[in-house]
Amino acid sequence: MDRKIVLITGATSGIGEACARKFAQGGYDTIITGRRGELLESLRTELEQYGAKVLVLPYDVRDREAVKAAVESIPQEWQDIDVLINNAGLARGLEPEYEGDFDDWDQMIDTNIKGLLNMTRYIVPGMISRNHGHIINIGSVAGDAAYAGGNVYCATKAAVKTISDGLRIDVAPSAVRVTNLKPGLVETNFSNVRFHGDDARADKVYQGIKPLTGDDIADVAFYAASAPAHVQIAEVLILATHQGSGSVVYREQ
């Protein structure tokens, strides 16, 4: 079997970590990235147990020079990346837009939009020159319509949709594929990060509903990557069964 390589941003937690596990179990050698190098090292140990080769690259996707240096440091035998999963991202705060925190806005825009673009700019040219590759961007139901307090986060995920659509058009002459996955409520560290470590508030987000897990999203990412070469899964909206939209959730009392 041909060697397959996936690069996943934000593999230290949640959806990215689940994708790393799924792709490693599915026969991919795995490049795992994120800011917390110690978590990447423990994930490496687990992934190697599935028989995967693992390359750990700790860096911040917001730091364009660090992204460039990390990509340039990839050894020759790892450079033919088949799948790039642009997953690193976060929400910060749930305040009304007119009361939003400037630092929170910067962090979301710099990570979810500019970080994703940094990765795309440095990895996709190799895919184009090999005429082979797949970019899976983690968007969100939040990008389909704003919800109360979602304002800037929702805007970043709307941007991920437009950036995915634009890239899909630009790579259409090649065999490169682009997928935008749009999850709804997934129980990860997402809400702890959004609420700046307020775990009690984070837990309430998932009360009264069985939320999705990172594994559920990893399954869809793996399915998209495994589709026949002529099939491009362009966009998928994945909701928990009792979630109707970004702002409608039925909760058992």
- Which of ligand NDP, ligand 8X3, none does residue 87 bind (CB under 5 to 8 Å by kind)? ligand NDP
Segment near ligand NDP (CB under 6 A); pick from 64-72, 86-94, 169-177, 227-235: 86-94
Q: Which token pair is 23?
A: 């792709």
- The reply on whether position 141 binds ligand 8X3 by CB under 6 A is yes
Residue 193: HSE in the Cβ half-sphere, 13 Å Cα cutoff? 15
Nearer to ligand 8X3, 181 or 225 (CB): 181
Q: Per-residue x/- marks for ligand NDP, 99-118, CB under 6 A?
A: ------------x---x---
Choice among 28, 59, 153, 206 that is catalytic: 153
**Residue 193 touches which member of ligand NDP, ligand 8X3, none, C-beta under 5-8 Å by kind:** ligand NDP
Number of residues assigned to the chain: 253
Query: 140, 151, 156, 179: which one contacts ligand 8X3 (CB under 6 A)?
Result: 140
- Minimum Å distance from CB 173 to ligand NDP? 28
Binding status of residue 10 toward ligand 8X3 by CB under 6 A: no
153 is catalytic: yes
Compare residues 127 and 185 and give the one whose CB is closer to ligand NDP: 185
Q: What does the binding site for ligand 8X3 look like in residue numbers (CB under 6 A)?
A: 140-142, 150, 184-185, 246
